[in-house]
Amino acid sequence: MIEVNNLYKTYGRGEARVHALQGVSLKIHQGGFLAVMGPSGSGKTTLMNILGCIDTQTTGDYIFAGTNVKRLNTQSKVYLRNRRIGFIFQSFYLLPSLTARQNIELPMVYSGTPPKERHKKSAELLELTGLISRANHLPSELSGGQRQRVAIARALVNSPSLILADEPTGNLDSRTGDDIMRMLCGLNKQGATIVLITHERNVAECAKELIVLKDGQIISEAECS
Ligand SMILES: Nc1ncnc2c1ncn2[C@@H]1O[C@H](COP(=O)(O)OP(=O)(O)O)[C@@H](O)[C@H]1O
Ligand SMILES: [Mg+2]
């Protein structure tokens, strides 16, 4: 479903140049679950931003479901990002003035989904993430784990075929982090393709494949049982 060939990413110019990715190649099959590990600064987020069409590589190819992303115009790329990819970040990025339900519905507001359909979908996702009793609460009235569940529900709104999670448990205590991981594992079992960045090996446990990045290169690759 995803194929990355010899990806390079260089930030800045001249003296300030940073080679964030230096020849990364990988494949992720539909329904796959790839964990990406590696020290801070190794290029994990850079890779995720490229996979999520938030950023563009300097050289190399990124093929998403048979399409070379390089050949897409801006509009098609935005469509791909909004409709087929769900993002989950370490700092949840919820809008503080919107309730849980409104935060979940936001991507559907952007995509012009009619209110009735929006409410139906958000009700479904509130149920899935165990947040029904918190639907009308503001983020400030929710625990860290609940906020991350809102963010996950929001990521699922357009039924993305690819879920990208950048250290989703990084700001959570370990028990809450385990809950969030179980949720991601469940989504994967239901068919979602997942790329998970993490620095905790136990968090990567339910992944099917693991790569370790260092200085922008894959230094180890393993299939997990
Ligand atoms: N927007 C940017 N401009 C310049 N350098 C960047 C930028 N984003 C990341 N970098 C650099 O690229 C390298 C990889 O960063 P990143 O992908 O964020 O690593 P990780 O997520 O593994 O910590 C680091 O040296 C970082 O400082
Ligand atoms: Mg990072």
Q: In this structure, what CATH number is given to the domain that contains residue 105?
A: 3.40.50.300
- Give, in degrees to the nearest 5, the angle at Cα 147 between 145 and 151: 115
User: Distance, CA 168 to ligand 1 centroid (Å)?
Assistant: 18
Q: Are 31 and 37 in contact (CB under 8 A)?
A: no
CA–CA separation, 127 vs 173, rounded Å? 23
Q: Is residue 91 part of a domain?
A: yes
The DSSP bridge partners found for residue 11 are 18
CA–CA separation, 186 vs 189, rounded Å? 5
Please report, for residues 8, 21, 210, the alpha-carbon distance to residue 222 in angstroms, rounded to integers and kept in the order given.
22, 20, 5
Q: Whose CA is nearest to atom 12 of ligand 1?
A: 20
Q: Is residue 65 part of a domain?
A: no
Q: What is the pTM of this model?
A: 0.92
Which atom of ligand 1 approaches the CA of 40 most closely?
Answer: 23
Q: Whose CA is nearest to atom 24 of ligand 1?
A: 41
CA–CA separation, 39 vs 219, rounded Å? 12
Q: Is residue 72 part of a domain?
A: no
Model pLDDT, residue 158? 86
Longest dimension (CA), the chain: 54
Q: Which domain holds residue 98?
A: 28-53+86-223
* Ligand 1 pocket list (CB less than 6 A): 11-12, 18, 20, 38, 40-46
The enclosing H or E element of 118 equals: helix 115-128
Q: Is residue 198 part of a domain?
A: yes
Q: Is residue 133 part of a domain?
A: yes
Model pLDDT, residue 97? 97
Q: Is residue 111 part of a domain?
A: yes
Per-block mean pLDDT, blocks of 10 residues, the chain (225 long): 97 94 96 95 97 96 96 93 91 94 93 93 93 97 95 92 93 87 91 92 82 97 84
Q: Is residue 157 part of a domain?
A: yes
User: Distance, CA 167 to ligand 2 centroid (Å)?
Assistant: 8
Half-sphere exposure of 67 (CA within 13 A, CB side): 13
Q: Is residue 148 part of a domain?
A: yes
CA–CA separation, 17 vs 19, rounded Å? 7
Q: Are 175 and 181 in contact (CB under 8 A)?
A: no
Number of folded domains in the chain?
A: 1
Task: Say how many C-beta atoms besides its own lie within 10 A of residue 133's C-beta.
Answer: 10
Model pLDDT, residue 224? 83
**CA 31 from centroid of its chain's CA atoms:** 14
